[in-house]
């Protein structure tokens, strides 16, 4: 049976591309988790078994072994372990360099951004630090501009307790190993290269659009509109709004995603067809529009993924070639990880690809089952997409945040109509906001209408967020449990596609039984002592064989 399944997979180029991407990611993960030798041993054993049993042709085995090592060594050579700035921490310092990310302001007197350092205390150096600037005139900071900052440089805190967020590990994904706190800044002469000039112009356009919207839409609606249209770097939402959206499971709408890219291109096609422009011009101009929008959003992982997939599909249409969506998704993931292997640790990257893969597989298979029914397709999609997305995203949410949004599916279904209008109308209104003073009047009318839809989204979020048990605290799932979980979903999807094949159904049942067994927590009956890091003191949690707990601090 195994040989038949593998032979079928080898004859499918899309399956080969998907397996290649998975093995490439496996090589990257082995580097980041410091278990390259163990993973290489597993790959070697599996390859040996495949050769002995003649499961897979030798050329594929050799190719995949190369892909695994390419993923590992590409990460090894591209990801730095430290930089020159670490040797200066902790101390007061003066640094000169360039802002290389869109400043994110969480309040009127605080902003944060990544900063490429060229000098520290007058000495030439290289490195990147994450700056938190507190003071007046935070709007002076623009991406690409150079400044001299005075403050304190130090290394970020690292996790020293179980399940604690590791800030240092997070910044490492951005090739950053220090943080810098400043209250004094001086602008330097800025001779920007064409790259930074373009990024700064796009950022200025976005800021002008947000400023125009602020005349007609007030907080918190302004922040929600900015997040939906331009991403979470546009305007930071108030804490109470963020908490509400977290509890209701709607936080994802405050960040630009693939849905926004689809809406924008859909609007462009609708507009171009009404003008009866040639097909090739419509497609090529649409590609340019998507590139500009992606740059304006701050290049988030989910937007890059959606933009690359759409651009490749459109390029294929220009040469009369169709692309298989799952293979294309795997190809885009591989390209992004070759460019920056640290993307694999980005939660946005993981969620974007997991959800997209789930929609392309499970959602499509279930949708095909309902095609011959009398239920409208738009109604099926409205319920099916949030349900499938929640099923695929649940273990990732539990793994990183130890939480589960109980009413996320219902909140997403209820908010979808309002979100569609805000995404589409918000982008149209934003275009009008940057054209001329005359179109601003139309922008005012659209914003007036959008206000009611934004109020509806907030109402839905608050309603579900305040229900009892809206956000459940969960255990931290193991990698083993997550792999079994996704294997169950894939086999269940395959079972639906094949008309509930008995063998596949039995495999699915066996995996479910294994997952249930793994959830059984057998408590040890010996004495346990856990030490916690509380800085300048000692703290111990003692568990007795009788399951009694004592804290000594």
Can you say how many angstroms the Cα of residue 103 is from the centroid of all Cα atoms in its chain?
19
DSSP state at residue 360: I
Nearest to 154, CA basis, from 177, 125, 186: 177
Q: Are strands 549-552 and 471-473 parallel, antiparallel or unpaired?
A: unpaired
Q: Are strands 178-187 and 123-134 parallel, antiparallel or unpaired?
A: parallel
What torsion do the CA atoms of 73, 77, 78, 81 make, to the nearest 10 degrees?
110
Q: How far is CA 369 from CA 18, 149, 486, 498, in A?
A: 24, 61, 21, 11
Do 174 and 342 meet the contact criterion of CB atoms below 8 Å apart? yes
Three-class secondary structure assignment of 167-217: HHHHHHCCCCCEEEEEEEEEECCCCCCHHHHHHHHHHHHHHHHHHHHHHHC
Nearest to 75, CA basis, from 175, 202, 217, 152: 175
Q: Considering the entire predicted model, what is its pTM?
A: 0.81
Helix pair angle (194-216, 408-433), 10° resolution? 110
Q: What is the pLDDT along the chain (553 residues), one digit of tens a residue?
A: 556 655 665 666 777 888 889 899 989 988 888 788 888 888 888 888 888 877 778 888 888 899 999 999 999 888 888 888 998 888 899 999 999 988 887 777 888 999 999 999 888 988 999 999 998 788 888 888 999 999 999 998 776 666 667 788 888 888 899 999 998 888 887 788 888 888 888 888 888 888 888 888 888 888 888 887 776 655 677 778 888 888 888 877 777 666 777 777 877 887 788 888 888 888 888 888 888 878 777 667 777 878 888 888 888 777 777 667 788 888 888 988 998 898 888 887 888 888 888 888 888 888 887 777 777 776 777 778 888 888 888 888 888 878 888 888 888 888 888 887 887 788 778 877 777 666 677 788 888 888 999 999 999 999 998 888 888 888 778 888 888 888 888 888 888 877 777 777 777 778 887 777 777 666 666 667 777 666 666 677 777 766 677 677 6
Can you say how many angstroms the Cα of residue 202 is from the centroid of all Cα atoms in its chain?
22
């Amino acid at each position: 049976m195994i040989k038949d399944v593998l032979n079928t997979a080898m004859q499918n180029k899309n399956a080969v591309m998907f397996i290649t991407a998975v093995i490439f990611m496996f090589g990257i993960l082995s580097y980041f988790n410091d278990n390259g030798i163990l993973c290489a041993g597993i790959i070697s054993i599996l390859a040996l078994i495949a050769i002995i049993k003649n499961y897979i042709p030798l050329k594929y085995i050799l190719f995949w072994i190369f892909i695994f090592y390419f993923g590992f060594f590409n990460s090894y050579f591209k990801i730095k372990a430290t930089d020159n700035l670490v040797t200066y921490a902790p101390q007061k310092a003066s640094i000169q360099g360039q802002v290389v990310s869109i400043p994110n302001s969480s309040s009127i007197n605080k902003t944060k951004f990544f900063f490429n350092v060229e000098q520290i205390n007058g000495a030439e150096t290289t490195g990147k630090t994450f700056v938190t600037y507190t003071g007046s005139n935070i709007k002076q900071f623009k991406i690409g501009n150079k400044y001299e900052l005075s403050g304190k440089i130090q290394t970020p805190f690292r996790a020293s307790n179980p399940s604690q967020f590791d800030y240092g590990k997070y910044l490492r994904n951005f090739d950053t190993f220090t943080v810098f706190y400043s209250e004094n800044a001086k602008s330097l002469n800025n001779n920007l290269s064409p790259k930074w000039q373009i990024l700064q112009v796009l950022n200025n356009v976005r800021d002008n659009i947000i400023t125009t919207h602020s005349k007609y839409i007030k907080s918190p609606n302004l922040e929600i509109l900015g997040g939906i249209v331009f991403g979470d770097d546009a305007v930071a939402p108030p804490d109470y709004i963020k908490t509400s959206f977290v509890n209701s499971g709607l936080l994802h709408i405050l960040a630009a995603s693939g849905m926004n890219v689809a809406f924008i291109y859909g609007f462009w096609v609708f507009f171009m067809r009404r003008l009866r422009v040639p097909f090739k011009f419509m497609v090529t101009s649409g590609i340019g529009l998507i590139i500009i929008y992606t740059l304006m959003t701050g290049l988030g992982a989910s937007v890059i993924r959606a933009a690359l997939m759409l651009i490749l599909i459109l390029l294929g249409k220009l040469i009369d070639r169709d692309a298989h969506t799952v293979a294309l998704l795997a190809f885009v993931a591989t390209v992004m990880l070759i460019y920056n292997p640290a993307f694999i640790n980005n939660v946005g990257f993981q969620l974007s690809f997991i959800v997209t893969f789930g929609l392309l597989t499970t959602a499509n298979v279930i949708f095909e089952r309902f095609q011959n029914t009398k239920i409208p397709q738009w109604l099926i999609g409205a319920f099916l997409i949030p349900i499938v997305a929640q099923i695929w995203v649940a273990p990732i949410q539990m793994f990183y945040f130890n939480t589960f949004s109980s009413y996320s599916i219902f909140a997403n279904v209820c908010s979808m109509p309002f979100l569609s209008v805000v995404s589409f109308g918000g982008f149209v209104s934003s275009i009008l906001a940057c054209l001329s003073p005359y179109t601003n009047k139309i922008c005012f009318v659209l914003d007036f209408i959008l206000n009611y839809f934004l109020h509806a989204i907030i109402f839905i979020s608050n309603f579900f967020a305040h229900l009892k048990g809206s956000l459940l605290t969960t255990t931290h799932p193991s990698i083993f449990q997550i792999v079994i979980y996704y294997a169950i979903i894939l086999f269940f999807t395959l079972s639906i596609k094949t008309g509930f094949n008995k063998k596949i159904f039995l495999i699915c049942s066996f995996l479910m039984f294994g997952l249930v067994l793994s959830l059984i927590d057998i408590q040890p009956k010996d004495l346990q002592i856990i030490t916690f890091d509380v800085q300048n003191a000692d703290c111990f949690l003692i568990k007795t064989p009788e399951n009694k707990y004592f804290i000594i601090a």
